[in-house]
Amino acid sequence: MKLFTYILLLGLLGIGLMGLQAQNLGEDTTPQKIEIIQSHFLRPFQTDSMSGIRLVGNVILKHDSTLIYCDSVYLFEQTNRIQAFDRIRVIMSDSLTLKCKRLFYDGNTRIAEAKRNILLTDGATNLKTNDIKYYRNESYGEYMNGGKLINGDDTLTSKKGYYYPNEKMAYFRKDVVLRNPDYKLTTDTLGYDTERKIAIFQAYTRIENKDGILETSKGNYNTETNKIELFAGNKIENEDYTVWGDKLDFDNETKMGYAYGHVVIEPKDSSLRIEGDYGEFDRENNKSYVTDTAVAVQYFEEDTLYVTADTLYSFEDTAENRTFRAYHHVFFFMNDLQGRADSMEYLFSDSLIVLTGKPVLWSDSSQISADTIWVYMADGKADSMSLSKNCFVITMADSTGFNQIKGRDMEAQFRENKLHRLLVTGNSETIYFAKDDETDTYMAKSKSSSDKMEILFEDNEVVRVKNIKGVQAQLDPYWKIMFDENKLEGMVWRGAERPRKPQSPRAFAVKYAGVEMKAPPVSLPPQEASPAPSESKLPQAGRGGLQGVENIKP
């Protein structure tokens, strides 16, 4: 509550601190006469406009509870004012002392105006300036021509300043600089709690230290605990990354930061940008993560990768290689490659994407799935791919069914982000619906299996199938398969899960946030039986979709 009150006072400072009249209601402010306690020499003086007493040598004066020490003084008894000179010491309480070279003091208003080599101190906090007014009724001092406040390791300088020693608060305006052995803070308006050593800022503020730069327009900095809270216009930048957030908390001791509300983290060593509603960043170990509507954007020369997941994690290992990870409900989109999984890892140094947890990819009209998928990128495009266990490549053959390739492991090669070559090993199986070249109609279904299989594609169409070792093949005419299952065991079409092009990174994250991993049932348009074609119309090897089929036995 006390900190909130100070922030409110600081806001009022921007529209005129002189409106703050913090009256000391516990003190009697009735004007009292200035008393002479001691002086080596005393004599009256008279001029055309004034008269008074001149005191010289070890002068001591008293006004209510305040003692004034100086070398010499003019006392104007009628107006209850003094002008004091040299080695001046004003003791206003047990802890507050004002020292200066020249002093004008009005006993009726209790306003002291000090000049030259001024020190206002309470023993722990020292205010230095060459020109100050101290308002005893309101218990604060102000300077308008530059001053310095020293509090432990903190040194504050500004053009204007207001110091409330009883409240343990100071306010600074214009060219404000707060220096500490660990950092430098610059701003235009600053409040400072001298007891708890908390700096409060409500204008553009920049904090610099050996680790980086912090910018904000509202917040506070506990210089004792080295903890920072930022509330508006926040940005933290160092040689490794830049962080934005509606609210940022940072601990300079642990090097840990916490960001809330529209969080953005950009590592400096890549074009990756991570956004979300909550994030944490570890400056000591160069790690960060973002969650709550989290989305990452990776810019390539000709394409952009969008990734959303429950949590996005970025870190740099000991070899200075950056790694990006996405956990749970992962969706990603590129123009020629889309996918989803339960987790995703992107190794920048190897341009490698690793997908686990029911991963599935879509490239043009092909759906690719396996227990684990490794995608090797080159120039922002898929270059090659490795699939392990329960591997499937599926394409929809109009309303007829699905062309399917199944195997234990697969190696795929791409050209211009389109599937070009596929090597299947371990229990290889295919179902393929063949077309007649002349009529462009489906004529038959080819079903084969082997220990190993090589398949070549052009424009995502199979142009050659090579079965190697343990070959079994079956060719059925189209009219015989209308009511067959026509599915390999484990085949699931997941086209409804395919991510669509995002309107914006935020919209992409909102659309797919928390979407569960489940595939809808396969649904195809109803089929009508076709008359049986003549044997001459059945596809033969080297014709239509079966062009280049080879069965090789060892």
Q: Report pLDDT digits (tens) over 63-75.
A: 999 999 999 999 9
* Mean pLDDT of all residues in 16-29: 42
Q: How far apart are CA 453 and CA 407, in angstroms?
A: 9
How far apart, in Å, are the Cα atoms of 519 and each of 231, 360, 379, 405, 522? 43, 11, 32, 19, 9
Hey, which residues does 304 pair with through a beta bridge? Answer: 299
Residue 535 has pLDDT above 80, yes or no: no
HEC string for 12-57: HHCCCHHHCCCCCCCCCCCCCCCEEEECCEEEEEECCCCEEEEEEE
The predicted pLDDT at position 196 comes to 94
Residue 315 has pLDDT above 80, yes or no: yes
* Mean pLDDT of all residues in 517-525: 41
* Residue 32: partners with Cβ closer than 8 Å, 6 or more residues away: 63, 64, 107
Question: Hey, what domains does the chain have and what are their CATH numbers?
Answer: 35-121 (2.60.450.10)
Residue 248 has pLDDT above 60, yes or no: yes
Question: 547: which 2 tokens?
Answer: 């062009």
Residue 527 has pLDDT above 70, yes or no: no
Residue 27 has pLDDT above 60, yes or no: no
Range name among 1-10, 27-36, 51-60, 360-369 with the lowest pLDDT average:
1-10
pLDDT category, 146, cuts 50, 70, 90?
very high
The predicted pLDDT at position 26 comes to 43
The predicted pLDDT at position 516 comes to 65
Residue 134 has pLDDT above 90, yes or no: yes
Residue 53 has pLDDT above 60, yes or no: yes
pLDDT category, 398, cuts 50, 70, 90?
low
The percentage of the chain sitting over the pLDDT mark of 90, rounded to a whole number, equals 55
The predicted pLDDT at position 314 comes to 87
The predicted pLDDT at position 15 comes to 35
The predicted pLDDT at position 321 comes to 78
* Residue 474: partners with Cβ closer than 8 Å, 6 or more residues away: 446, 447, 448
Residue 126 has pLDDT above 90, yes or no: yes
HEC string for 168-224: CEEEEEEEEEEEECCEEEEEEEEEEECCCCEEEECCCEEEEECCEEEEECEEEEECC
Closest CA to 311 of 502, 477, 514: 514
Residue 22 has pLDDT above 60, yes or no: no
Q: How far apart are CA 454 and CA 465, in angstroms?
A: 6
* Mean pLDDT of all residues in 209-217: 91
The predicted pLDDT at position 107 comes to 95
The pTM of the full predicted model, rounded to 2 decimals, is 0.75
* Mean pLDDT of all residues in 419-444: 81
Range name among 127-136, 192-201, 303-312, 417-426 with the lowest pLDDT average:
417-426
Residue 11 has pLDDT above 90, yes or no: no
* Mean pLDDT of all residues in 219-225: 93
Residue 534 has pLDDT above 60, yes or no: no
Q: How far apart are CA 449 and CA 336, in angstroms?
A: 30
pLDDT category, 6, cuts 50, 70, 90?
very low
* Mean pLDDT of all residues in 250-279: 89
Q: How far apart are CA 482 and CA 444, in angstroms?
A: 10
